[in-house]
Amino acid sequence: MLVLAVLVLRRLPVVVLLRRSLPPLHGLVDAAFVGWFGPIGVGALFYVAFALRITGLQQVWTIATLLIAGSVVVHAVTATPLTRWYGAYRHRTEQAPARGRDVTA
């Protein structure tokens, strides 16, 4: 539950809230897609190693590496289905203005 809470509450809401300030994002779906794919990785590993050295608390290492591993697994499992769905969504939305237009006129 901790892994999912961090993944859902860490980056996703920020990107969704700032989507109007991020020109490449064209709406809520784009912002949600970009916000979801922000895995916890090498930077977090550096910071946890630093925190472990400073504090000496083994729990810091245990919890952080659990979050990093969980992030890798969740993003690996969701990457293909969400990318396929997003590609189909973008294809539909890009084709939508062409529908209903008379191309013979």
- pLDDT category, 98, cuts 50, 70, 90? low
The per-residue pLDDT for range 6-58, each reduced to its tens digit, is 888 888 898 899 888 888 888 899 999 988 886 677 788 899 999 999 999 99
What is the model's pLDDT at position 94? 84
Residue 35 CB: number of other CB atoms within 10 A? Answer: 21
C-alpha 79/C-alpha 86 separation (Å) is: 10
What is the model's pLDDT at position 43? 84
* The pLDDT of residue 104 is above 50: no
The per-residue pLDDT for range 85-94, each reduced to its tens digit, is 999 999 998 8
Helix axes 42-55, 58-95, angle to 10 degrees: 160
